[in-house]
Structure 1
Amino acid sequence: MGRWCPHAVKKAFFIMKLTVLLVLATTLQVSAKVNGQAKISLHLDKVEISRALNSIERQGVYHFLYNSRLSGIEQKVSIDAKEEDVRDVLTQMFTGTDLTYKMLENNLIVVLSAKPAPQDIKVTGRVTGASGESVVGASVTVKGTSNGTTTDYNGGFTLTVPDGGVLVISSIGFKTQEVPVSGQSVINIKMDPSSKVMDEVVVVGYGVQRKIDVTGAVSTVKGDEIARQASVNPISALQGKVAGVQITNSGSPGAAPQILIRGLGTYYGSTGPLYVVDGVWVSDVSFLNPADIETLSVLKDASSEAIYGINGANGVIVITTKKGSRSGKTTVTYNGSVGYQKVTNQVKMADAYQYAVMFNELGRATNSNPVLLDSSQFGTGTNWFDQILRNALVTNHQVDVSGGTDKSSYNFSLGYLYQDGVLKDNDYQRYTARMQNDFQITKNIKLGYTAVGMYATSDDPPGGIWHEIYSAPPVVPVYFKEGNYGDPGYYGLGQAVSNPQVSLDFNHAQSRDYNLTGGAYLDIKFLKHFTWHTNIGGEYIMNASRNYVPVYKATSTQANSVSSLSIINYDTRKWIAENTLTYSNIFGDHSITALVGQHADYYFYDEVHMSATGVPNQSSGNWYLGLGNGGSGTVSDVDPNTYNPAYPLESTVSSYFGRVQYSYKDRYSLNATMRGDGSSKFIGSNRWGYFPSVGAAWIVTGENFMQNQHVFNTLKVKGSWGKVGNVAIPTFVSTLTSVSGGGYSVIYGNTGVISNGVSVASITPPPLAWEKGVGTDIGLEAVTLANRLSIEADYYNKTTQGFVFQVNIPGSVGAATSYIITNVGNIRNRGFELSLNWKDNISKDFSYSIGGNVTINNNQVVSNSAGSQKIYNGGEGATGGLFTTVTTLGQPIGEYYGYKVVGVFQSAADVAAYKDSKGNLYQPSAQPGDFKYASTTGVGPISGNDRQYLGNPNPKYTYGINTNWAYKHFDLSVDVQGVADVSVYNANKGLRYGAENWTQDFYNKRWHGAGTSNSYPSVNIGGGTNYNPNSWFVESGSYFRIRNLQLGYTVPSNVLNRPWIQKIRVYADAQNPFNFFKYTGFSPEIGGTPGNAGIDNSIYPLYATYRLGVTLTF
């Protein structure tokens, strides 16, 4: 071959020669002819047979050919031979093994297996649970290979297996079992509930691990638990089920929930987690039908998240969707439901009589003439919530088709959702389609793909409609008797109020959403312990929103003289490419899995704004701008020089990562990762970031001294540390610019000459770096009481270093802006999580489980380069431009800040008596019925320096209790969920600038004369300082609710007596049917961005859902 020949090429030619020789040896039965009768001597003690053969070769006479994977070739032997025939030595060496040999010419010896080659067997079977129920989606693989399948909806499987093969059956919640084939063509497996919850297999970043080996904090939810709930979005179904996860839902149809994992760790950056769906990174999972999910894992601690680097700071949710079964038959499942939704806690507004009484009081308080003098003539009037709200239809349908052969599998699903909003003229429709295929090309090569498509449409309410409904006067009818719209102006109520029905009838907003997400993978196993995995995928999102307003004149204040049409198109494209190489081996008491990988992704965003006027009314059903008046159309694209979203218009990331997992005797586990990410969003030394992690676990019950105790079935102590990043932050940098113009003048020296000057419009801060998260987790996991009770407890300390925030700059700098955006300090979330789960089978007919979790979290800004200065930045939209929240050192993000109410002034004498030690009045302009504010300085008059911290919008406690009961063919699940020690800001109470309505609660508790109330003000809420942010608006946000209640019945198979129907289950359920809280608004479950969290400024109310449904399996 020459000296130039690489080693790999030589090895290939050697293998080719070996193959030819083996064929000749086994098919042509070549006779052995040994040249000479050379004797050998050998003295070896407990060495592998392969090494013994090498020792013989080194004596220079004989050469051996064999497959290094040959069974028994690594078996250890001891040989003591002196000048003996090689045949006698080999016979002695191979005794007790499956090895034999053939001697060829030229002293060439071929080592072979004495056993005949195993024959493949087509194995079929069914996997069931302890009570005989089908285990759906269980993994059935041939040990040591990638050849495998998953069970179908009846628990069935079909797989081609070597006769000597071993089946490995695993499923979350059950013991992993190994079953030798031993010539059997039918193998039925009964799975036992995991005797150790730790035996479960959980999905982690870039792979799976046994729970006992996990050193971080990972929680897993089965797809069935998600699909059974009435939630439109799969993330909503996590509410109350996972410790450390806070879910805040919206009542708007199709709206995605907000999710925080272990608290709020950023201000300007994205707060949501990274989603990984079948290996593809996505920003949201609204496109995914909940019924398509197999498992969902939440990675909560920094060591688990570090493998995702700059995208892991807010947690990672890894979703695996359902796959087909290689059972050889096709299974069809239909799941359909129909029901209705209604507002959970409708706020009672004042009726017409009560409104008229209070409106007249307001007139007298503001020295204006009351216009509703005869209050009794109005009766109850219009209940605008009853008029605008409704019981809304919701229906959901899913068809799933799965199956396959011994070499491939498929899963195809179609879904349709229709959801009316509880607000009239508001609805949402979603169509989903999903296709998944896996192909076993050879024993060691496997490939597959997943593609998901979603199309959604919605009719959206006009902006500000909820404020209109809250404030609409009940004295105004929806329509006058003549059929015209009720007009607030008719009653002299001014322009601050309107008829909400007009807004609904003449503002037509629609949106269309398209999403296409997919990925493909290739797995190649080689050299026994290595697996190469390639994954490519992407996501395309397009949103088109349309708003059309026709010409109309409905009331004296609600009219539009020129029709208009505006359209906004959003376009987002992403793709990723990943390659990983995994080495996995078990040798003796040691188990090691090592992974190295490479990642690249690309992101692009664009939007186009278009508008036209004079579009005729008859075209309201289309999207054509060309029908408008000539010259009225405008089109604008995103300007990269002025557009500053959290993501830039285009960015790329290149990454390299690795992980090592080691276990000794299933007693000690170590895990270490390292990831390096480079992002085009950053410059200079900030472009690359490196994110290490390390974790360790000690399975205490594996120690010898624990073998005779009978308390713990499993006891595990774990600890981890890691570093992650948040790349989803605003990366724009202000540039140094100047503005010339009048008003900026300067006189140099004593010349007296006035020269034009310039003002610095902005200054350039240091280049932004990504936010870094550093976290520590210490935990304990235990299983006790005969494997019925499992306990998980975690203490965590997570700090965001260099969080992006604004820093005030002095006016002396000369900048037109008062602050800059930069990395300023650290935010800490520190807390404790506890999860308890009890499972028991009372009899073969009755089983149940009860699970509970609670999280205690404390959010705090622990360092700030701005010092202790207060950054007022949030809530101004709810208070007429006044800041409601503040973020400062030593306090949580976005804490409510304002004046503390200590009472209500009862008289003018009361106002005059409220003064400081020097006789200065605290509130000199106050009137009877106004709030009395506390002074923190002791100096009058009260000013902004007397404001206090009023409440924390970040809940300290979140909890959930989940129960499941099964008796014969009935099943019942009851889930409860809640939060505690949290505040919300009810800005709706302050929406009173003139003729707006009040609530009945306010009517009953208001101040309307000396001694009538010392907690509620007079009707003049919008007057004086009553509207300033104060403690009256801050209410308890704690709540407790029955989150989900479902009763099901599965028709017995002997009753069905139809071979083409495998299963029928009918069910009835209710979501959010019972809610308990003290909040005076619709619901205390209120989202919002950091700095604006928990502010109820006419938000869309939550709803309860009631459904009937059926599941059919064919």
Structure 2
Amino acid sequence: MKRSLCSQFLLFTLLFLSAINGFAQEKITVKGKVTSSADNEGLIGVSVSLKGTSTGAMTDPDGNYSLSVPANGILVFNYVGYETQEVNVDNRTTINIVLVQVSKALEEVIVIGYGTQRKIDITGSTGSIKGAELTKQPVLTATQAAQGKLAGVQIISSGAPGTQPVVRIRGTGTMLAGADPLYVVDGVITSDIRNINSADIVSMDILKDASSTAIYGMRAANGVVLITTKKGSVGKDLRVTYDGNVGFRQVANLVTMASGPQYATYIGDINAGLPPNEQIALPGNQASTEWYDEILRKGFQQNHNISVSGGSEKVNYFFSGSYLTDEGIVLENKYERFTLRSNTDFILSSKVKLGNQLSFSTGQTRDVNLTGAYNDSYRAAPIIESKVDGKYGNTSAFGNVGNPILDIENNDNKLTENRVQGNLYLEYSPITSLQVRSAFGGDFFNNKRRIYQYQFFNTEATFITAGGNQRNDRSLLEIRNDNTFRWVWDNTVTYNHKFDNATLKVLGGVTTEKYTNDNNYGSKKDIPSTKDQWYLSNTGDPETAINDGGGEKWSRTSFIGRVNYDLMNRYLFTATFRADGTSRFPSANRWGFFPSFGFGWILSEENFLKKQTTFDLLKLRASWGRVGNDQVPPNSATSIADTGIPYFFATQPVRGTAITQIVDENLKWEITEEYDIGLDFSAIQGQLSGTIDYYNKKTKDALVRVNLPAILGDADGVYLTNAASFVNRGWEFTINWSHRSNENFKYNIGFNATFNHNEIVGLNQGQALVAGTVGQQSFTTKSDNGQPIGSFFVLQTDGIFQSQAEIDASAQKSAKVGDLRYKDFSGDGQINDDDRVYVGSYQPKMYFGLTGGFTYKDFDFSIDCYGNFGNQIYNGKKGARVNATDNIESDVANSYWRSDRTNTGVPRASRDILPASTYFVESGDFFRINNITLGYTLPKKTLERIKIETLRFYISSQNLLTLKAYSGFTPELVNPASVAATTQTPNADATLAPGIELNAYPTTRTFTFGVNLTF
């Protein structure tokens, strides 16, 4: 009996425990939403799992999830860039979670072309700068404000008002066919962004490697710059913002020229070595004019921007207007720009969205002739007065250049630019994961230049000293009109679906582009000097009238596709394909095909690294891609014949027809292949982050101009063909540190560096390309196998002859004591082009940027620096000293060779033309403090009382200090041909002969005071 009762008790106990266990294992459905601590927005793709099991789900695009789990289970929320959270279910059916962001940079969204992507999901090499960073600097374009901020991106700017900087992404990407990157503004392709107000920009994203740029195929060989402008926000109240600054601009560095007495001494030493009949006669009354002081000034500048934005559930809007004035540092030089922008989105239904981005800009530039006034100020004799009692000092009567003041005041050169740019789009989403988009973008550009040259004579009433060659006997009016229209029609379909442990995004589409340009030119002499009569139809000499014109037209059609695949938030794959057809090439070579692949592996999500606490993110990337370049004139594959050309037959001239342009009928694309290997990391709770990249890109079938035998009759003696290959390879490093010490103090510091090696590896037809003519020195650069593009190729100096015995033992038998000695590398006993050697190029071996700043309570401070090392500059202005009466630099005046001053590297005073040599080649190394800004924001309590959202005052300085080795004006040299806004035809000297200072506009230093106001 007792045994039976005991058995029954044990059985009851087991059944009771089983019931309890069964109850504990009962499952319930838990739903909820996961949002970000940064902006309270839902997070897509968050991993929600039951701890200790493989059961899990992913959040949808709005951050929602649903999961069946035990009532007493533990949920684990995991998302890259956020702290992992564990939450007890406790029988709850609704659990909303706010994830705390570890590194904001990881969740940053990047524009990638025809779409966006989280930075962490990108498999290519990209860079991004927010609009707030761009507006810190008082500059015309966003690219200039980006100087030194991104690894792999070299930006060279000019101080001249209204000019666009030169941008080189990972080295020089071509030898002829347009080396500038592609610009895309809100989906509109363009080559000029001077019309974009920096205060309207949300972000500027730069695609660097072939994997990320391949979606733009034919235009992407030199990188892509994507600019996104601001929009209103749904459900946000009306917001008004004003950003403005005023200040002045001054020359940052001047070359000191010889004074009147120094110049007179130098001319006297020239005369000492000449027979009496060849000596230079100096005027009796000698001045001491500093010509740069005569033509330079402090230029006033101002920039005012006002915007209105807001939105409702059905519409959001952004309207802005801006006015900018930039007086150049050269007299009469000035640039003005006025812009309007309207960005509007209409939410017609849950499935249909319509919107537009539209801008208008108008600008006026009062140009000065840098090859005249500025160059002449370097060469003008200081012993001549500039201007006295309304009369000009006649430097030309002294056998010298023209008077720079007269050149400025005698020419009225005005450029007016009007531009309308916009994009209209329609989006339709039949289901949540599918989006169909059609966008039409247009860019209309009207450019009108009017130049009037006044009439003046060599008279006592005009010049202090009559005579000379500076005169203009008849007035001249020149007018040129350019009209350019480019339109792009993009049609894309995007499928984006989230699976249990993967995300798939597929893009496909067709895009069509057309470009047209027409221009006309006219001129006539003897037009009256009254501005109201400056029309070609006005009275004037009809016999001098010239009418000319031209145009350009081309089109492109492209098919695009891209696949992005994310597996388990750790394995990433991207594949892109684009097929481009262009009218620029012959029909047989019209189509180009540009694939790319990218892979990413987020190591920090692997189990073997889960427990480590150092890295928040550790990600490996590898990519390969092929892109193209079709930037050649549309008629490059068309033979051109001119009529009416005289030909002498039996001593009698006969008019006939001749081919003046010989073409390669097999002309084809330039192709660039590139692979990139990169590492992205974030550590110490997002305080430390950075990237490391190695890239290797090779350009094949590069377009170059090859010399032709004269018997073939081509007017230029050259023809365009695919005949070169070259590589750019290097390393990029970026590291950033940000730390908040307490609630009042936060600081950040960042550094980036790029090491690039450029080398020509195959001139297929064996013809080296020479360029860079300086005065009477002939060429200065030579591009050949084994050398960087545009390498300086000159004679090597070897000191100065100190005695006749040295001359007799040299290859320069006609030299004089005090002359430069050159090395006879050929050993043939004479100095000629066979003795030239390579001495470097303008392309730096390393360039870098350094940024830093802090906030303390309501104060903020930032500093940006950049520089480069390992490049050379050719001092062309010194090499182009044509006349013996040209002025010299003060350093030359103080150190040129004399019998009582022999320990010097500067040759004697002479009227001889010096050949191109290392005497003119100098180091281009420099370090610049590019911008310093100090700001103060009114406290929130004060703002609440006056009902203002933000109010900040700041002072800023641009180009405060430059440390440089170069003796000239600036180590940053911009070839004007490479920044022409409407020029579609590439200029060879822009890439084959950079780094020659001839007419460089000096770098300017700017001081400004500004206000940021929002209410």
- The bucket for the TM-score relative to the shorter chain is 0.7 to 0.9
- Which residue of structure 2 lines up, in the alignment, with residue 1023 of structure 1? 912
Instruction: Give the distance between the partners of 1:984 and 1:960, measured in 2 at CA.
Output: 21
- Give yes or no for contact 1:839–1:849 (8 Å, CA) kept in 2: yes
Aligned to 1:441: 348
Task: Name the CA shift for 1:608/1:817 in 2 (closer, same or farther; >3 Å).
Answer: closer
Task: Note the residue ranges of structure 1 that are not aligned, 5 or more in a row.
Answer: 1-94, 99-114, 130-137, 145-160, 167-172, 179-187, 641-648, 747-754, 915-921
SS of residue in 1 equivalent to 2:919: coil
| 1:621-667 superposed Cα distances (whole Å, 9 cap, x missing partner) | 56422223252564534346xxxxxxxx1111111110000011111
In the TM superposition, 1:511-660 aligns within 5 A as 511-553=415-457, 554-555=462-463, 556=467, 557-618=469-530, 620=531, 623-629=534-540, 631-632=542-543, 634=545, 636-639=547-550, 649-660=552-563
Residues 691-718 of structure 1 deviation map (CA, whole Å, 9 limit, x = unaligned): 0000101111111111122332211111
Match of 2:788 in 1: 892
Q: What is the distance in 1 between the residues matched to 2:876 and 2:567?
A: 58
Distance across 1 between alignment mates of 2:759 and 2:744: 51
Q: Is 1:432 paired with 2:310?
A: no
Question: Out of 739, 751, 759, which is 1:860 matched to?
Answer: 759
Please, which of 464, 468, 473 is the counterpart of residue 376 of structure 2?
468
Counterpart amino acid of residue 679 in structure 1 = T
Match of 2:894 among 997, 1000, 1004: 1004
CA distance in 1, matches of 2:505, 2:177: 35
C-alpha displacement at 1:737, in angstroms?
Answer: 6.3
Q: Does 1:318 align with 2:226?
A: yes
Query: What CA distance in whole angstroms lies between the structure 2 residues aligned with 1:704 and 1:627?
Result: 83
Q: Aligned residue for 2:960?
A: 1073
CA distance in 2, matches of 1:1054, 1:809: 76
Cα distance in 2, alignment partners of residues 804 and 537 from structure 1: 30
CA contact (8 A) 1:744 1:757 kept: no
Partner Cα distance (2:924, 2:426) in 1: 49
* 1:826 match: 725
Cα pair distance change 1:544/1:814, threshold 3 Å: closer
* Aligned mates of 1:596, 1:358 — CA distance in 2: 71
Shift of 1:741: 6.8
* Counterpart-to-counterpart distance in 2, 1:1004 and 1:578: 64
SS of the counterpart of 1:552?
coil
In structure 2, runs of 5+ residues without a counterpart are 1-26, 46-60, 67-79, 86-95, 976-989
- Please report how far the alpha carbon of residue 989 of structure 1 lies from its aligned counterpart in structure 2 after TM superposition: 1.1
The separation in 2 between residues aligned to 1:761 and 1:332, in whole angstroms, is 60
2:1006 match: secondary structure: strand
The 8 Å contact of residues 528 and 534 in structure 2, kept in 1 or not, is answered as: no
SS at match of 1:886: strand
How far has the Cα of 1:813 moved from its partner?
Answer: 6.7
Deviation per residue, 1:963-1021 (Å, 9 max, x gap): 1210110000011100110001111112322211111011112112375244111222x
Structure 1 pair 164–685 and aligned structure 2 pair: CA distance change class (3 A):
closer
* Alpha-carbon separation, structure 2, partners of 1:190 and 1:911: 85
Q: Percent identity?
A: 36
How many Å apart are 1:815 and its aligned residue? Answer: 6.7
Cα 1:633/1:1009, change in 2 over 3 Å: same
| Aligned position for 2:875 | 986
Partner residue of 1:871 out of 769, 781, 794: 769
Q: Which amino acid aligns with 1:951?
A: G
Match of 1:197, as an amino acid? Answer: A
Match of 1:926 among 796, 811, 815: 815
The structure 1 residue matched to 2:398, chosen from 493, 504, 521, is 493
Q: Could you give the per-residue CA deviations for residues 499-545 of structure 1, whole angstroms, max 9, x where no partner exists?
A: 11111111110010111100011111122211111111110011101
Asked if the contact 2:151–2:848 (Cα under 8 Å) also holds between the matched residues in 1, the reply is yes
Q: Deviations over 1:765-790 (max 9, x none)?
A: 23321211111101111112332111
TM-score (norm 2): 0.86
The change in CA–CA distance for 1:846 and 1:816 in structure 2 (over 3 A counts) is closer
* Paired residues of 1:744 and 1:756 also in contact (CA < 8 A): no
Distance 1:807 1:998, change over 3 A: same
Query: CA–CA distance in 1 between the matches of 2:325 and 2:1004?
Result: 15
Bigger relative CO (Cα 8 Å, ≥ 6 apart):
2
Establish whether residue 960 from structure 1 lines up as the match of residue 849 from structure 2.
Answer: yes
- Say what the alpha-carbon RMSD is for the aligned residues: 3.1
Shift of 1:871: 2.0
Match of 1:287 in 2: 195
Q: Answer whether contact 2:527 2:533 (CA < 8 A) is retained.
A: no
Partners of 1:127 and 1:591 in 2: CA distance: 20
The reply on whether 1:719 has 2:609 as its aligned counterpart is no
Amino acid in structure 2 at the alignment position of 1:449: N
1:82 is aligned to none
Question: Any residues of structure 2 matched to 1:710-1109 within 5 Å, and which?
Answer: 710-731=613-634, 732-733=636-637, 735=639, 763-809=662-708, 818-867=717-766, 869-872=767-770, 874-876=771-773, 878-880=774-776, 882-914=778-810, 922-992=811-881, 993-1009=883-899, 1012-1020=902-910, 1023-1024=912-913, 1026=914, 1028-1088=915-975, 1089-1109=990-1010
Query: Could you say what secondary structure the match of 1:1045 adopts?
Result: strand
Partner Cα separation in structure 1 for residue 29 and residue 97 of structure 2:
31
Q: Provide the C-alpha distance between the structure 2 equivalents of 1:1065 and 1:1044, rounded to a whole number of angstroms.
A: 18
For 1:591, what is the secondary structure of its paired residue?
Answer: strand
Q: Which amino acid aligns with 2:866?
A: Q
Deviates further, 951-960 or 456-465 = 456-465
CA deviation string 1:740-762 (max 9, x = no partner): 9767899xxxxxxxx99999866
Q: Distance in 2 between matches of 1:575 and 1:197?
A: 35
Alignment pair present for 1:350 and 2:249: no
Partner amino acid for 2:129?
V
Distance 2:361 2:174 in 1: 31
Measure how far apart 1:862 and its partner are.
0.9
State the shift of 1:811 in Å: 6.2
> Which residue in 2 is equivalent to 1:329?
237
User: Which residue does the alignment assign to 1:102?
Assistant: none
Structure with bigger gyration radius: 1
Task: Give the deviation of 1:267 after TM superposition.
Answer: 1.7
SS at match of 2:839: strand
C-alpha distance in 2 between matches for 1:935 and 1:817: 33
On the 8 A contact 1:523/1:533 being kept in 2, the answer is: yes
CA contact (8 A) 2:584 2:633 kept: no
**Change in 2 beyond 3 A, CA 1:905/1:710:** same
Query: Equivalent residues in 2 for 1:105-504 (5 A)?
Result: 194-195=102-103, 197-368=105-276, 370=279, 378=286, 381-462=288-369, 463-480=371-388, 482-488=389-395, 493-494=398-399, 496-504=400-408
Tell me which amino acid in the other structure corresponds to 1:1003.
A
Paired with 1:768 and 1:581, the residues of 2 have a C-alpha distance of 34
SS of the residue corresponding to residue 912 of structure 2 reads coil
How does the TM-score come out when normalised to structure 1?
A: 0.79
The residue matched to 2:392 in structure 1 has which SS?
A: coil
Question: 3-state DSSP class of the match of 1:984?
Answer: strand
- Give the Cα separation in 1 of the matches to 2:732 and 2:505: 29
Deviation at residue 364 of structure 1 after TM alignment: 2.8
Query: Greater shift after overlay, 191-200 or 693-702?
Result: 191-200
